[in-house]
Amino acid sequence: MTDDLLSQLKQMTTVVADTGDLEAIRRFSPQDATTNPSLLLQVAQREDRRARLAEIARQASDIDDALDAVAVEVGSEITGLVPGYVSTEVSARHSFDTDATIARARSLIERYDRHGVGPERILIKVAATWEGIRAASQLEREGIHANLTLLFSFTQARACADAGVTLVSPFVGRILDWHKARDPEADFSGDRDPGVQSVRRIYDYFKANGYQTIVMGASFRNSGEVLALAGCDRLTISPALLGELTAARGTLERRLTPGRAGNAAPPPQDEAEFRWALNEDAMATEKLAEGIRKFTEDQRKLEALLGELRRH
């Protein structure tokens, strides 16, 4: 009998759970797991978490302290369930502040250390702004591994690789959303999906130029997008889509294969080149700004929840 599609995918790609749901992680046995403010908010709203969250909130010195404590508590639990990386995000409010991002990342790593979790297990998630990429470059030099998120363009990906970051998370579904909103009658299925095309371009460029940065496709809208990227270094997938892939049968074709490295990579972009190229890409500019606002919105909701718990 043919194996389910998830089992086949795991033979060619490192599968990552895009969730803070511990039961889902136990069920699907991923290698890694990623979290973000939106996923942490979902975890915090569970009734079985209220008592522990209240305890954390009351012990914290302020709301920022409480937020990081919650993120590290959930992340530390996840490290007991996956053998690989756990991604924890720096506050989206610091997306344009290099120094603040570095300070917050160091603080998160120190918190993980107090939980007995070493830096080799953690990826600090940072928005792929110019300032975020500069922060990630410094953190990597300190031995703190970075996952550059909210990545919508080749320009962002290239700058991340030049900065020597451990991993990039190019988004797929949100790119598709942008194009569908502007051309709802177009056929974006399969290889026509602009998000899939974006990840393939990044993957091929990294492999051809000998970059060690891991490519992890993220933000999927359907299982077809996942299957179209089979063979990518990593794919971070929601529990709903992991469930679909577990239930599905068939033969999975590998779609991405690392080619032989060619010539040396071109010179890194400077800040002006990066900002101009990003500005020329309307989709990436809009989705990056929107993503930062969305994560900040969910962080504010989590702050309000923790603030209420601190008062009671």
Q: Report mean pLDDT in 10-residue bins for the chain, 312 residues.
A: 89 95 93 89 85 86 89 94 96 96 97 97 98 98 98 98 98 98 94 97 94 97 97 97 96 91 80 98 98 94 86 76
- Say what the pLDDT of residue 263 is: 65
Dist CA 244 CA 179 (whole Å): 25
- The structural domains of the chain, with segments of one domain joined by +, span 5-311
223 is written with which tokens? 């299982």
- Say what the pLDDT of residue 1 is: 54
Query: What type of residue sits at position 140?
Result: E
Whether CATH 3.40.630.30 fits 5-311: no
- Say what the pLDDT of residue 2 is: 72
Catalytic residue among 10, 125, 180, 287, which?
125
Active site residue 301: no
Token match 């756990």: residue? Answer: 86
Token match 């923790």: residue? Answer: 306
Instruction: State residue 243 phi and psi, 5-degree precision.
Output: -65, -40
Dist CA 185 CA 287 (whole Å): 21
Token match 């996840």: residue? Answer: 78
Dist CA 90 CA 36 (whole Å): 9
Cα 30 to Cα 7, 63, 237, 256, distances in angstroms: 11, 31, 10, 20
Dist CA 122 CA 139 (whole Å): 12
